[in-house]
Chain A
C-alpha cells in the first residue's frame, strides 16, 4: 500500500475518533488532551506527507509544524489553565 494511502486511512481513523469523542458531549480535560494530540498527529501527517515536508530539510520546512504546535499549545493552555 502506498504511503499516501496509509496516511489517508490513518487520518480517517483519527477523524472518527474525534467524532466519537464529540458524541459523548462530555467536558473532560482528558478528552481535550486526546483531541489536541490527535489533531497534532493529523496536522503533522498532512504537513509531512501531503505537503511533502518529509522530503525537505530547509529551515522553512519546520514552519507549518511549529505553527501547528504553537496553535495547539496555546489552545490547550487556555483550556487547561485559564
Chain B
C-alpha cells in the first residue's frame, strides 16, 4: 500500500469511459452555474421546491454503496489478509441493493416533481434539474447492471488475489457515478 506504482487499477477502456463522462458532466455542471447567474431568483425559488431530504437520502445511499464496493475489492485483493470471495459477493449484493433504493427514491422524487406540473420547459432551473437527474439516473442503472455482472462473477469465483482487473474496472465506474452525485447534490439542492 505504501509504495506507489505507475499503473492505474482497472483497464484502459473504463478510464476512457470515465474521462468522457466526467467531461460531459463538467459541461452540465458549469452550464448550470452560468445559467443560474442569469436567473438567480428563478433558480433560488425553484430550488426550494426540491426535497432536500430526498437529496440527502440519495447521497447516503450512493456513498454507502461505494463503501460496500470498496469492501468487496478489499476482500478480493486481500488487502487486510482476509481474502473471502463469498464476502465480496455479499458486499456487491448490498451495493446493488443501495443502488436499487436510490433508483426508487429518485423515481418517487421525479414523480412528485412531474406531478406538480413541472416539465423540462417550466424554467431553466428545472431544465437542468430534470436533465441532470435523468442523465445521472441512467448512469446509476448502468452501474447497477455492471455491479450485477461483478456479483455473478464473484459467485462463479472468477476473481482471485492476482486476477481482478474486471472487478476493479466495474468498481471504478460505480465510484465515478458516486463522484458525479457528490458534486450534483450540493450544486442543485443546496447552494444558493
* A interface residues, Cβ below 8 angstroms from B: 2, 4-5, 7-8, 11-12, 15-16, 18-19, 21-23, 25-27, 31-32, 35-36, 38-39, 42-43, 46-47, 49-53, 55-58, 60-61, 63-64, 67-68, 70-72, 74-75, 78-79, 82
The docked-state distance in angstroms from the alpha carbon of A61 to that of B126 is 34
Q: Which of B1-42 contact A (CB under 8 A)?
A: 1, 4-9, 15, 18-19, 22-23, 26, 29-30, 33-34, 36-37
New A-B contacts (5) at CB < 8 Å, excluding given A39-B182, A72-B183: A43-B182, A56-B8, A68-B183, A75-B30, A75-B191
Interface residues of B in 35-87 (CB under 8 A from A): 36-37, 44, 48, 52-53, 55-56, 59-60, 63-64, 66-67, 69-71, 74, 80
Q: Residues of B at under 8 Å CB distance from A?
A: 1, 4-9, 15, 18-19, 22-23, 26, 29-30, 33-34, 36-37, 44, 48, 52-53, 55-56, 59-60, 63-64, 66-67, 69-71, 74, 80, 168, 172, 175-176, 178-179, 182-183, 185-187, 189-192
What secondary structure prevails in chain A residues at the interface with B?
Answer: helix
Let me know if B80 and A61 touch, CB within 8 A. Answer: no
Chain A residues near B189 (CB-CB < 8 A): 22
